[in-house]
Amino acid sequence: MGLTVQTELFGRMDNTLNILRSNGLANKLDDCDKMFHNWYRFVLSFPPHLVRNYFGKFQLQDGQTVLDPFCGTGTTLVEAKLNRINSIGIEPNPMAHFASCVKSQWDLDPEEFIKHADYITERTKKVINSTPDHLRTLPLESEVLLLKDSISPLPLHKAIILLEQINIEKDSPFHNHELLAFAKSLVFAVSNLHFGPEVGVRNKKSDAPVVESWLSEINNMARDIYRANHNSMSSTVHKADARQLSNILEPKSIDAVFTSPPYPNEKDYSRTTRLESVLLGFINNKKELQSMKRTLLRSNTRNVYKGDDDDVWIAQHSEIQGIANAIEEKRIALGKTSGFEKLYGKVTKLYFGGMARHLAELRAFLKPGAYLGYVVGDQASYLQVFIKTGELLANIAKSLGYEVVSLDLFRTRLSTVTRKQMREEVVVLRWIG
Q: In what order do the strands lie in the sheet with 235-238?
A: 235-238, 86-90, 65-68, 254-259, 366-377, 421-431, 403-414
The residue extents of the domains of the chain are 3-106+231-265+300-431, 110-227
pLDDT, residue 42, reads 83
The length of the chain in residues reads: 433
Q: Which pLDDT score, from 0 to 100, does residue 361 have?
A: 97
Q: Which residues pair with 90 in a beta bridge?
A: 238
Long-range contacts of the stretch 57-62 (C-beta < 8 A, 24+): 57/9, 57/10, 57/371, 57/428, 58/256, 58/258, 58/371, 58/373, 60/85, 60/255, 60/256, 61/85
Q: Using CA atoms, how far apart are residues 6 and 432, in angstroms rounded to an integer?
A: 15
- Phi and psi of 381, rounded to 5°? -85, -25
Chain segment 279-290, per-residue pLDDT in tens: 999 999 999 999
| pTM confidence score | 0.91
384 torsion bin: left (phi>0), alpha (psi -120 to 50), beta (else): left
**Residue 369, by phi and psi: left (phi above 0), alpha (psi -120 to 50) or beta?**
left
3-106+231-265+300-431 to CATH, choices 3.20.20.70, 1.20.120.420, 3.40.50.150, 3.40.50.2300: 3.40.50.150
What is the Cα–Cα distance from 36 to 232, expressed in whole angstroms? 16
Beta bridge partner(s), residue 259: 374
- The residues of the chain scoring below 70 in pLDDT are 1-27, 197, 415-419
Q: What is the 3-state secondary structure (H, E, C) of 389-402?
A: HHHHHHHHHHHCCC
For residue 424, what is the DSSP state?
Answer: E
Residue 426 and residue 10: Cα distance in Å, rounded? 10
Distance CA(210)–CA(190), nearest Å, equals 6
Tell me the helix, strand and coil percentages in the chain, rounded to 5.
50, 15, 35
Distance between CA atoms of residues 80 and 61, nearest Å: 10
How far is the C-alpha of 333 from the C-alpha of 365, rounded, in Å? 45
> Per DSSP, which regions of 254-389 are E strands?
254-259, 366-377
268, 303 Cβ separation under 8 angstroms: yes
Specify the amino acid at residue 364. A
Asked if 240 contacts 94 with a C-beta cutoff of 8 angstroms, the reply is: no
pLDDT of residue 204: 93
Rounded distance, CA 406 to CA 424, Å? 13
pLDDT the model gives residue 91: 97
Q: What is the pLDDT of residue 3?
A: 41
